[in-house]
């Protein structure tokens, strides 16, 4: 189900980016104030308010209990995601690519930033976390195998002495270049020393990958706070846009 959701949302996000770039081939200054443009604008504003429901329910315990008895948080999150992409799509269509006023340009830019940042936080960070968990499980299995191999290695003092200088993290990566494998040329199965080298090399690679993922996760650690701040700016611009449209009049209203 999550793979299907990711594919749909990715397609919608690409559609949003293509529509936003459509100003280079299409511009209709009168469309935003028309009946069709107004309906699209109202629909876009309503959809962009829908994601607030998930944020409010998630952070207010007195609402979370009663609401989740009727609708699960997973369903609310799915509604949050789809509305967060469909709203900007309708917003870009409503604009008619009339990017003339600073307010309209800023509002369109913030819609794109909120949609893209939400996608990054939901799917790319989720993928990194899943990969990191898988790597941690693989590393745990390799450590068990390495402990078993180390027990066998203890029975061969000469092999253990040859590997002792390569006990560190970076030296484990260099061990295959300095410790020869006598079984390789003879076509025999690898000995205990060679198995220890291969295991330590694989463990070093996994540890490096895990540390790299941790660095990336730390870099995105403040994503949620940034996403919320950007969304607040978007809603402020949206409120000003709605007020100005109403104040200066809508052509299709009597």
pLDDT band with cut points at 50, 70 and 90 for residue 165 = very low
pLDDT tens, position by position, 67-76 = 888 888 888 9
Kindly list the domain boundaries of the chain, sorted by start residue: 2-124+223-247, 132-216
**Are 193 and 179 within 8 A, CB to CB?**
yes
Residue 189, pLDDT > 50, answer no
Give the integer Cα–Cα distance in Å for 36 and 236.
24
Mean pLDDT in residue range 81-91: 93
pLDDT tens, position by position, 25-66 = 778 878 887 888 888 999 999 999 999 888 888 888 888 888
**Are 26 and 97 within 8 A, CB to CB?**
yes
**Are 29 and 83 within 8 A, CB to CB?**
no
Mean pLDDT in residue range 231-249: 86
Residue 225, pLDDT > 50, answer yes
Give the integer Cα–Cα distance in Å for 204 and 82.
41
Specify the pLDDT at position 90: 94
Rg (CA), the chain: 28
Tell me which of 248 and 193 has the higher pLDDT: 248
């Amino acid at each position: 189900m999550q793979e299907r959701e990711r594919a749909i949302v990715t397609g919608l996000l690409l559609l949003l980016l293509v529509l936003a770039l459509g100003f280079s081939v299409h511009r209709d200054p009168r469309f935003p104030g028309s009946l069709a443009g107004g309906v699209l604008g109202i629909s876009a504003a309503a959809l962009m308010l829908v994601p607030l429901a998930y944020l409010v329910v998630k952070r207010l315990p007195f609402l979370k209990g009663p609401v989740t008895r009727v609708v699960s948080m997973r369903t609310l999150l799915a509604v949050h995601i789809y509305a967060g992409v469909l709203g900007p799509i309708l917003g870009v269509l409503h604009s008619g690519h009339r990017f003339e006023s600073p307010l309209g340009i800023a509002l369109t830019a913030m819609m794109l930033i909120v949609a893209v940042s939400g996608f990054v936080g939901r799917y790319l960070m989720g993928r990194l976390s899943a990969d990191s968990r898988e790597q941690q499980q693989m590393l745990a299995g390799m450590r068990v195998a390495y402990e078993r191999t180390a027990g066998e290695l203890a029975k061969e003092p000469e092999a253990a002495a040859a590997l002792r200088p390569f006990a560190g993290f970076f030296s484990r990566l260099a061990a295959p270049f300095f410790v020869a494998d006598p079984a390789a040329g003879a076509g025999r199965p690898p000995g205990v020393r060679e198995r220890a080298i291969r295991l330590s090399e694989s463990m070093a690679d996994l540890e490096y990958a895990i540390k790299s993922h941790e660095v990336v996760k730390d870099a995105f650690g403040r994503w949620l706070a940034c996403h919320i701040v950007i969304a607040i700016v978007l809603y402020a611009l949206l409120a000003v846009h709605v007020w100005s449209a109403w104040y200066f009049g809508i052509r299709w209203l009597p």
